[in-house]
Amino acid sequence: MILTDHVPPRLPSAHEGSLSTRLPLEQDVPAVVALLEADDRSHTPDASVEAAGVRSRLVGLKSWSRRQLVVVPAGAEGPSPEAPVAWVSVEDRATGRSDVEWVAAPDLPARDELVASLLGWAEEVAGSFARHRGVQTTQLDASANALDADRRRLLTADGFTQVRDWLHMRRPVTLGEAAELPEPRPGTRVRPVHRHPSGLPVAQDVRTVHRMLEESFADHWGSYRESFPEFVQRLIENPEQARWDHWWIAEIEREGRWLPAGGLVAAPIPARADAAGLAHDPARGEGTYLEYLGVHRSARGHGIAKSLLRAAIRDAAERGRTRVELEVDAASPTGADGLYAAMGWEPFERTESWQRTVTAHPSRLLEPPPA
């Protein structure tokens, strides 16, 4: 099975006859993993890429919310089944937001021109997503490591603007913290989501977490409304985010009732062996990653964020994990980075958000054929 995109990119003249594009296949996963890992290691020498996540994005459940293609050597009769030399993907992330990812082998001839053509295709796709969403424009988002000068240069050349910085922070965990951390303030509490005997969560708690995250971040930069069905679909796409024993709800007592005050979604981080495959240091042992943490605007100032963070730290200590990691807006209006620093988190990496505005366009499939 070899399929092509209905509206493929126009490749640079330097690649006419030598490269072509097609949709990803299962057999492409190892090659794309290798491309991504080599790209990351150009600025972070010990970077690694999880194959399972790439497989989900290319050919698994997470591929359904994307349009994507790989660039391959051209075959004699159509697109070649050979290993990709580049990949680009556009995700329909939310109303008004599309995310683009790409990678291209560093030794490709006319590489800048090829990347420009792939980003041009991404803008075309984002415009079609905007049309389906019923909005006039969408923000096309890209991410770059602060050390990745090549990616930042290519984004600038394509008209993207850097709009945000993100701190990736890490905190070591000790076994004793399972019993040493303070309890929540009086009138507040933190509990795991309720689960059925099957292990699946009670639906009301899933909806509560979604509501806490949506309403907590409504006044933050880059907040795009995500409907509950979209939220659930993302959980199905990424089973690691659906680790229900890593979900917590904070509650606050008001007039004799316990009301939702915040939510936390976490996931395990697999251990990574060092270069010699021997012992793990605290940065490489199994850890916990905090995917989402939200405190409802009506409950701020009651220590809810600290209580949720301590619940995750305590859980990590009980599981024998070495660290808890998270990502935070370096210009957070709530000063979240200061809270994390005060609780022992330290930055170890910095990434950037880049954006450009893309306008919706009519369906290209309805255009009259060329004369």
Q: Say yes or no to pLDDT of 98 above 50.
A: yes
* pLDDT value at 74 more than 50: yes
Judgement on whether residues 147 and 205 belong to the same structural domain of the protein: no
pLDDT of residue 285: 86
State yes or no: pLDDT of 198 exceeds 60.
Answer: yes
**Least reliable range by pLDDT among 53-57, 139-143, 144-148, 315-319:** 53-57
Mean pLDDT (the chain) is 90
CATH of the domain at 266: 3.40.630.30
Domain identity same for 157 and 179: no
Evaluate if residue 60 carries a pLDDT over 70.
Answer: yes
Q: Tell whether 189 is covered by a domain.
A: yes
Torsion sign across C-alpha atoms 78, 82, 85, 87: positive
Give the mean pLDDT of 254-269: 94
Tens of pLDDT, residue by residue over 182-194, are 999 999 999 999 9
**Residue 280, pLDDT above cutoff 60:** no
**23 lies in the same domain as 151:** yes
Q: Which of 102-116, 294-308, 317-331, 332-346 has the lowest mean pLDDT?
A: 332-346
Query: What's the rounded mean pLDDT across residues 237-258?
Result: 88
In terms of domains, do 33 and 59 share one? yes
Mean pLDDT of 167-185: 93
Please, which pLDDT band fits residue 276 given cuts at 50, 70 and 90?
A: very low
Query: What does the DSSP assignment read for 121-188?
Result: HHHHHHHHHHHHHT-SEEEEEEEEETT-HHHHHHHHHTT-EEEEEEEEEEEE--TTHHHHSPPPPTTE
Alpha-carbon gap, residue 156 to 98, rounded angstroms: 18
Angle between helices 111-133 and 149-157 (to 10 degrees): 60
Q: Are 134 and 207 within one domain?
A: no
- Can you give the pTM of this predicted structure? 0.87
Structural domain includes residue 331: no
Pick the residue with more confidence: 300 or 90? 90
> What is residue 170's predicted lDDT score, i.e. its pLDDT?
96
| 303/361 same-domain check | no
Q: What is the pLDDT of residue 277?
A: 44
pLDDT higher than threshold 80 for residue 59: yes
pLDDT band at 29 (very low <50, low <70, confident <90, very high): very high
Q: Are residues 54 and 107 in the same domain?
A: yes
Same domain, 148 and 190: no
Classify 260 in phi/psi space as left (phi over 0), alpha (psi -120 to 50) or beta.
beta
- Looking at the structure, tell me whether residues 196 and 287 fall in a common domain: yes
Domain count, the chain: 2
Range of the domain at 239: 174-321
Q: How confident is the model at residue 224 (pLDDT cuts 50, 70, 90)?
A: low
Q: What is the mean pLDDT of residues 143-155?
A: 97
pLDDT level of residue 50 (50, 70, 90 thresholds): confident
The confidence score (pLDDT) of residue 278 equals: 34
Judge if 133 and 178 occupy the same domain.
no
- Whether the pLDDT of residue 279 is over 90: the answer is no
What integer pLDDT is reported at residue 370 of this predicted model? Answer: 66
If one counts every other C-beta atom within 10 angstroms of the C-beta of residue 113, the result is 15
Claim to verify: residue 17 and residue 147 sit in the same structural domain? yes
Tokens of residue 360, six digits:
């919706």
